[in-house]
Structures are given as C-alpha cells and as structure tokens.
Amino acid sequence: MRKFVVEEGLVMPLDRANVDTDFIIPKQFLKSIKRSGFGVNLFDEHRYLDKGEPDADNTNRPINGDFVLNQPRYQGSKILLARDNFGCGSSREHAPWALDDYGFRAILAPSFADIFFNNCFKNGLLPIVLDKEIIHELFSQVEETPGFSVSIDLPNQKISMPDQSEVYFDVDQFRKNCLINGLDDIGLTLKDASDILDFERRWKDCSPWYFQLSGNKNN
Amino acid sequence: MTGQTLYDKIWSAHLVKQRDDGTSLIYIDRHLIHEVTSPQAFEGLRLADRKPWRADANLAVPDHNIPTTSEERKLGLDGIKDPVSKIQVKTLGDNCRENSILELEMNDLRQGIVHVVGPEQGATLPGMTIVCGDSHTSTHGALGALAHGIGTSEVEHVLATQCLMQKKMKNMLVRIDGSLNIGVTAKDVVLAVIGKIGTAGGTGYTIEFAGSVIRELSVEGRMTVCNMAIEAGARAGLIAVDEKTLRYIEGRPFAPTGELWTEAAKAWKTLVSDEDAEFDEVVVLDGSEIEPQVTWGTSPEMVLPVSGSIPDPALESDPTKQGNIEQALDYMGLEGGTAIKDIKLDCIFIGSCTNSRIEDLREAAQIVADKKVADSVETAMVVPGSGLVKKQAEAEGLDLIFKRAGLEWREPGCSMCLAMNADQLGEGKHCASTSNRNFEGRQGFGGRTHLVSPGMAAAAAIYGRFVDVRKL
Ligand code: SF4
C-alpha cells in the first residue's frame, strides 16, 4: 500500500450532505474487474452531461461546467472538503479507488459512513473527521480564497492552514501506523496465523455446525 | 457485571485476539461472494501467491449483473449481452473453480440474490459472523447472526485469513412497541425508523431491533428490517433468536441435522440480549402509529407516511436542510407541498434483497389479483429473489396472477434495484420500488425512485399513483 506521511495540496469543496457511493462512482463502472482507471469517471453523473459507459472514451463527452470538479480554480486538487455522512450507501471500494485514481489523497468532513471510512484506509486515502464548525469555516475560506491549500501531517495529526494556523485531528493508532508505513493488512494478520488456527480448533469443537458447507447438498 | 447485548455475545465469541492499539481480530464463519466486489480480491490473492484460508466457509452466487428475461437466461453466459458484465460473471466462476469455492451458478435453481440465498440455503445460521462485499449483508442479522458489508480489500483479507481487523461498534436498541395496523409491513417499519433517526443515525452502531412488533414479524419480515439497517447508517442489524428463527432454519440444506441440530438449537436460544444489558442508545417507536411509508426524495430518510405532503423548502429554516430538499426536489421533478398520493408512477419494480421473498410476492399478488395495471404505467415487473422463491411462487399460481394483471414475471437477480444489467429505469421516470435505495441514478440514469412496501407498489401499479394500501 502507498504510504501517507505528509501531503500538501489544493482543497476542493463539495458542498452537499450525504454524498453516496453512487454519486462518487455510478454502478456501471463496477463491472470492471480491475482496480485502476476509475478516476476519469469519478462523480460521473455530475461532471458530465451524458451517461458514461465503462471502457468508453471520455475525452469528447459534454462537460458540466457548473460542477465544482470542472472549475478551473480547482484543477489538480488533492484534498476534498465534504459535508456530513460522506460515502454513504454501498460497500463498493470503487469509490475510494476512483477518488485515489483521480488524485485525491485526503477527505475532510464532519462525518463519514462506516464502510467507506474503513475502505479509505485500505487504499492509502486519509479520511479526517473535523468539527462541523471547522468544516463550515473551511467551506467559506475555500470559497473566498482561490488557491486555498493545506498541508496534512499524519505523524503529528495536524493540518496547517494557509494563514499558518493549525488544526489537530484524531486518528486510530493502528490505521495511522499502517498508513505511515504503507503496511499490508493481510501480511500483518498472517503473523497471527497460529492464534487463528488455535481459535478455529476450539470454535469447531464447540460449534461444529458452522463448519459444514462443503457437503454441497441439493434441495 | 452488567449483562451483555446480543452483539456483545457474538463479538466476544469470535474474538481471536485483542491488540494493544484497541483493534480486534475477529473470526469470520461465513463469507458470501458475488461477482461485483470479488474479482480484484481474488486477483490480489493470486498476486501474493495466497490461497483461501478455508474454502468451505465461502459461498458464491452471481446476482448483480445477470439478465432477468427467460430468453436470455436460457443461453447461460452467452445470454449476457454486455461484454463487460459477461466477463465479470465468468470471472466469478473461474475464481471459484480455481479456489474450490462452492458457487451456485446462474442457472442453478438455488441461484438468487446473495442475501436471499444465504438464509434460504441455511448457509446463514444464528450466532455466526457473516460478511460479504455488499452493504446489505446486514440482512442476515434477522437470524441472530452478526453480519455486515465489507469492501474489496476486506474480501481479500477474509479469503486469506478467515478474519477481519475490527473495532467494536456501539450498541443501539431500536424498540418498536405495540402492534402494526393491517396493511403496514416490515418495510414501513424500517422506513419509519430511518425517517426518525436519519441515514447517519446508526453510524458507529450495531442496531438491535426488538419489541413486540419485531417479535410478531415473520423471519422474512425481520430480514426486510435488518436489510435496511445500513440505510440508517448501521453496518449491522440484529434480531434476537426465538422459536420462529429456529423453525425457519430447521431442514434447510446447510443447516445441521439430527443430534447436531438439537445441540445447535440449544446454543442458539441463548442468542438474546440479557435483560440487564445496557445500550449506548435507545430509540422507541410505537408500531400502531406507523402508516404505509413512501420516500419522496433522494435519500431513504426523505420519507413520509402515504397521507403526507412533500416538504416545502421555503418553510425550512435550516439553510443546509433547505438546500438538501431543493436539490432532491429538483432531481425528482417534484414540487414542495405536493401530496404523496398525487405522485404519478411510470414504473413498478417488485424485487431486491429487501422485498423479493415469497411473503413479499404473496402480499403484492393479493393486491393485483383480478385487476389490471394502469395504462399510464409503462413497465411493471416482479423479480423473485431466488430460483426457489420463483418455483414456490409458481406452485402457488402467483406468476399467473401477476401476468394476468399485466406485470412481467422475471428470472431471479438484483435487476432494477441497481440497474447494472439491462433492467433500467428511464430518465425522468418515477418508479415505485420495493428496493432499498433512492439515490440519484440508482435505478438508471436520471431515474426517480420511490421506496415502498410490496403492497404499496402493487397498489400503485393498479392506480398509476400512490394510494393507501389500507383503504383497498
Ligand atoms: S438486490 Fe440491490 S441491494 Fe440487494 S444485493 Fe442486489 S443490488 Fe444490492
């Protein structure tokens, strides 16, 4: 997994609550069996005026100039500023894949949906929960200040603003460690393989009925 | 010591290891797999040269992408016209064969929507931990299993280790007291709950649904309730085990038999929250006050009783809420103040893992029997949740009732719930749908979804607009 230590970048505001995973990446793109290439279809239904198709050429599609992602001042953004309950809906990891592939590295919001929040960490993307008031204030500052950029320092858990002020944030220590060191979860868990085997043996002894799918019985 | 909640009990029974940093390694009993969220996980396994930890903990079924007309289904894989979808379904088969995982293939009688198939096959059992790369895995909580959706990285993690790294959730109790009025169903209950606590109300919690209304619901109705726990923000919904649960499971293909059954049933009876268990949050609803529900906007919390009228954004004082209402009404092509009963429908969809089991189909069939779908309704379809549900419905003659009324009778799959296959809601069209999400574009680009119960959808088919199913 790619590491996240310190990231600096332009902030793009997405002023809308309950942005769901269909909004982030519409379902037709879930047909892909690949992990990459979703960036051009991030926010597809809002950024283009027609309906997108997987594996199609996106270069000549009509653009929705009003949508924030298409505004010149936000080109090259790395930090997404969002509202409440960001990422609600389906468990599709295509949502963080699309954000990541587009170039976003972190998302700031007052709250996130659980599964999405979790999926971000697995993909080197940092979701940060900040107070509603701070988020609110950020929205107005970003609006007012073209080129508004912040620097996110994960080891020190702080965000540095353009006016030199700093905001601290919470992050789960295990996830922080994985992100900073780019650790692969599976490798970590497999270090505990003997504990898993022990558990499994005990569990099978006392609940054997959970271990019998192999029969492939017919109705 | 204070008592434990049902969630606490299942959690601690599956705790392999507690790490110092507060994360826990949790053992997973059952992993359900479908074609959309698994290919990248199998690919990851292959690249790391890993094998599934325990192949027989997995059960796979294609459901999201497959066609639902019988002409296409007869052709098997070749019936999938979209080449990208076809590759995905084929890849699932290849991956399962390569890893010795049981797959109920597209034309297996037992195939269906993954969350209908699990309980139906007895692959979902009380006290299990169950995961699937799909957020509606919460459905299985209706049987007293701890079940939740995961992303593709976690699919790979579970395949490789039979475990997940997790943080324990908080406990929420949603108690629905009293009893439901006739014509009010499980779907209305869960929509009313979401209307009350909001789509983020359950974030960070596991919700246990309890109270006399839940006890009176059938196991299938309980599945409808738990199915939409995720729409209230909770990854998992749970319902305590009772006699109904055991009766539902006994005799299912993968359920234990003989002496094992007796032992299992005894163990499962303890799967209830202790009387003195403490919940971090308690929400109480009065069942007798719940009316049939209809969503009017683009989030499941934008829901009202059928007797209601759409909110007028001008009357909303909170600017954020006002903006949300305006955005939703703009997308839905509706005006504030319009009565729910004045919303006209172009399409009716009866199906999805929320409402496609036999009782749902009976509920809908009863309403449309000897009637005709309104001329103004362009499409009306019934998509059973599995091959076995379809077979049962046909044995009861429900298919004929639907067809005579002018509804299409399809083959099992996710279909227009998320429109990944050819079953798409047209741009600007209004659909009364028994599914679970009314997000923008969910049922098709520009499509407008109204979530309702099967009875309400059936009634809307006959009248071409919403009517109160209790008054029929
Ligand atoms: S029926 Fe709908 S909600 Fe259920 S699994 Fe299929 S797509 Fe997901």
End-to-end CA distance of chain B: 53
Residue A215 pLDDT exceeds 50 = no
Residue A219 pLDDT exceeds 70 = no
Which residues, other chains included, contact B209 with Cβ-Cβ below 8 Å and sequence gap of 6+?
Answer: B174, B175, B176, B222, B225, B226, B229, B237, B238, B239
Do residues A91 and B133 make contact, with C-beta atoms less than 8 angstroms apart?
yes
**pLDDT tens across A140-193, in order?**
999 999 999 999 999 999 999 999 999 999 999 989 999 999 888 899 999 999
Distance CA A91, CA A69 (A): 24
Cβ of B256 within 8 Å of Cβ of A85? The answer is: no
Distance CA B94, CA B78 (A): 16
- Which of A20, A91, A196 has its CB closest to that of B150? A91
Which residues, other chains included, contact B471 with Cβ-Cβ below 8 Å and sequence gap of 6+?
Answer: none
Residue A216 pLDDT exceeds 60 = no
> What is the arithmetic mean of pLDDT over A84-112?
95
- C-alpha angle with apex B235: B229 to B239, nearest 5 degrees? 55
Do residues B384 and B410 make contact, with C-beta atoms less than 8 angstroms apart?
yes
Distance CA B260, CA B253 (A): 14
Cβ of B84 within 8 Å of Cβ of A173? The answer is: no
Bridge partners of A129, per DSSP, are: A109
Does A77 contact chain B (CB < 8 Å)? Answer: no
Do residues A203 and B15 make contact, with C-beta atoms less than 8 angstroms apart?
no
Give the model's pLDDT for residue B294: 98
Cβ of B88 within 8 Å of Cβ of A33? The answer is: yes
Per-residue pLDDT 10s for chain B (472 aa) are: 689 999 999 999 999 999 887 789 999 999 999 999 999 999 999 988 999 999 999 999 999 999 999 999 999 999 999 999 999 999 999 999 999 999 999 999 999 999 999 999 999 999 999 999 999 999 999 999 999 999 999 999 999 999 999 999 999 999 999 999 999 999 999 999 999 999 999 999 999 999 999 999 999 999 999 999 999 999 999 999 999 999 999 999 999 999 999 999 999 999 999 999 999 999 999 999 999 999 999 999 999 999 999 999 999 999 888 999 999 999 999 999 999 999 999 999 999 999 999 999 999 999 999 999 999 999 999 999 999 999 999 999 999 999 999 999 999 999 999 999 999 999 999 999 999 999 999 999 999 999 999 999 999 999 999 999 999 8
Please give, rounded to a whole number of angstroms, the shortest distance from the CA of B104 to a CA of chain A. Answer: 10
Residue of B11, B16, B27 to mutate for A, most A C-beta atoms under 10 A: B16
Do residues B420 and A28 make contact, with C-beta atoms less than 8 angstroms apart?
yes
DSSP string across B44-101: HHHHTT---S-GGGEEE---SS---SHHHHHTGGGG--SHHHHHHHHHHHHHHHHTT-
Show the tokens assigned to A129.
């929960």
Distance CA B191, CA B297 (A): 13
Q: How far is the CA of B416 from the centre of ligand 1 (A)?
A: 9
The side-by-side arrangement of strands in the sheet containing B146-149 is B102-103, B58-60, B30-33, B129-132, B146-149
CATH fold for domain A6-182: Aconitase; domain 4 (3.20.19)
Does B264 contact chain A (CB < 8 Å)? Answer: yes
Which three-class secondary structure state does DSSP give residue B358?
Answer: helix
Give the model's pLDDT for residue A91: 85
Q: What are the residue boundaries of the structural domains of chain A, listed by start?
A: 6-182, 184-219
Give the model's pLDDT for residue A214: 56
Q: pLDDT confidence of A137, banded at 50, 70, 90? A: very high
Q: Verify whether ligand 1 is closer than 6 Å to residue B414 (CB atom).
A: yes
Question: Which of B116, B148, B187, B353, when mutated, tests ligand 1's pocket best, judged by the most ligand atoms within 8 Å of its CB?
Answer: B353
Show the tokens assigned to B41.
């996980």
Residue A11 pLDDT exceeds 50 = yes
Question: Which of B65, B66, B134, when mutated, tests ligand 1's pocket best, judged by the most ligand atoms within 8 Å of its CB?
Answer: B134
Kindly report the pTM of this predicted structure.
0.93
Amino acid at A171: V
- Closest to B384 measured CA to CA, from B369, B396, B367: B396
Rg, C-alpha atoms of chain A: 20
- Which of A32, A113, A188 has its CB closest to that of B203? A113
- Closest to A4 measured CA to CA, from A173, A202, A183: A183
Provide the 10 A C-beta neighbour count for residue B266. Answer: 9
